[in-house]
Amino acid sequence: MSGFYDLASLAKPLVTAPLALAFLDLDADRRWALGFHDRDTPLTVRQLLSHQSGLPPWRPFTGEPLAAQLRQPVPDHPLLRPATPGLATYSDLNYRLLAELVEAETRVPFRRLAAASGLSPAPWSEAPIGLPDAPDAEAWRLATDRPLPPRDPGLPQDANARAGMPGHAGFGTTAPQLEAALARWVAAGWPDRMAVATAEGEQGTRWGLGLQVLFGGNGRFGQLLSKLPPGLGLRVVAEAAREIPEPAPAVTQEPGPPSGWWFHLGYTGPALFYRPEDRSCIALLLHRAAPDGAMLDADALRARRWAALHRFVGQCGG
């Protein structure tokens, strides 16, 4: 099994958010700089980091200016839908724009700046386990006539990242490499700056500036992690096996109180958890491939994450 993992959207908190926090004014109005000349309200870095910009979840990365692209009609698709009015809507586009702003502010290519993370930008010499095309490939074909970027074992599964869209994906790692990168990330104080309640989001989520609150309640990851003792430190849990575990416990409809942990998930399987109280950090490195090579659905992936966390918590005496 491959020991190299496509981090997918974990690039957001580990690469892009630190660069934005380091180089950008959080509250300056960036409408004009980003080409949103017909937008009636300010567009700020704080909004982009916390998914409050009002941008839809996704558009294909074709190289067109995003503001112009958003004026084009698109068919119905979950990734192409509008943002939910008044609620933070998770969007890859926010981090696309953050990467553009960082490059404009520093006049340094995003890829070069991202090298400070210690993670590996694509294309990769060691490929992670491959996955079939995801819904973003379907949405790509609906939203543009431009050809879907070709698959390559050294490129991310994400269609936008394959096309070169910076800011939201395109980084991979081994377990030792991630452990070193996380040690620098925590020591620099980036997750403490991200774990600041900022916005109410869709489906009861609550976003900070790059991480979201992990709630407790039956069947929720916060329920498991709340059992962990203080002073845990930094742990990377790498699971190379692809067997499908038993289903995870059913999730209660209403979340419990905040667990004290913040988190982010990657579409390809990995997950990141951080507890500001004692600066404990846990990363899961998982592959989203089933034994037959198919892509796990959301429930099966949740079961794999639950099994890995449950085993880890037990090993820590929780």
What are the DSSP calls for the chain, one per residue?
A: ----EE-GGGHIIIIIHHHHHHHS-SSS--TTTTT-TT-SS---HHHHHTT-S---S-----SS-HHHHTTS-----TTTSPPPTTSB---HHHHHHHHHHHHHHH-S-HHHHHGGG--EESSPSSPPPP----HHHHHHHHH-SSPPPPP-TTS-SSHHHHTT--SSS-EEE-HHHHHHHHHHHHHTTHHHHH-S--EEBGGG-EE-SS-EEEE-STTSHHHHHTTSPS---EEEEE-------PPPPPPPSS--SEEEEEEEE-TTS-EEEEETTTTEEEEEE---B-TTSPBP-HHHHHHHHHHHHHHHHHHTT-
pLDDT surpasses 90 at 74:
yes
Kindly state the average pLDDT of the residues 111-115. Answer: 96
Q: Are residues 19 and 160 in the same domain?
A: yes
pLDDT of residue 243: 87
Q: Are residues 116 and 227 in the same domain?
A: no
Tell me if 128 is assigned to some domain. Answer: no
Tell me if 135 is assigned to some domain. Answer: no
Q: Are 309 and 269 in contact (CB under 8 A)?
A: no
Kindly state the average pLDDT of the residues 12-36. Answer: 98
| Percent of the chain whose predicted confidence (pLDDT) is above 70 | 100
pLDDT of residue 16: 98
Count of structural domains within the chain: 2
pLDDT of residue 213: 98
Residue 231: other Cβ atoms inside 10 A: 8
Q: Are residues 11 and 99 in the same domain?
A: yes
Q: Are residues 68 and 20 in the same domain?
A: yes
Find the range with the poorest average confidence among 49-58, 76-85, 199-208, 245-254.
245-254
Q: How confident is the model at residue 244 (pLDDT cuts 50, 70, 90)?
A: confident
Tell me if 225 is assigned to some domain. Answer: yes
Q: Are residues 223 and 203 in the same domain?
A: yes
pLDDT of residue 167: 97
Q: Evaluate the omega torsion of the peptide bond into residue 60 and state whether it is cis, within 30 degrees of 0.
A: no
Evaluated on CA atoms 120, 122, 124, 128, the torsion sign reads positive
Q: Are residues 13 and 152 in the same domain?
A: yes
Which one of 153, 170, 187 terminates a domain? 170
Tell me if 208 is assigned to some domain. Answer: yes
Amino acid at 37: H
Tell me if 309 is assigned to some domain. Answer: yes
Q: Are residues 159 and 213 in the same domain?
A: no
Q: Are residues 158 and 245 in the same domain?
A: no
pLDDT surpasses 80 at 1:
no
Q: Are residues 47 and 102 in the same domain?
A: yes
Tell me if 278 is assigned to some domain. Answer: yes
Q: Are residues 191 and 282 in the same domain?
A: yes
Kindly state the average pLDDT of the residues 86-113. Answer: 97
Q: Are residues 78 and 205 in the same domain?
A: no
Cβ partners under 8 Å of residue 297, min gap 6: none
Report pTM: 0.97
Tell me if 130 is assigned to some domain. Answer: no
Tell me if 126 is assigned to some domain. Answer: no
Q: Are residues 156 and 251 in the same domain?
A: no
Q: Give the total residue count for the chain.
A: 318
Q: What's the domain range around 224?
A: 172-315
pLDDT digits (tens, 9 = 90+) for 145-159: 999 999 999 999 999
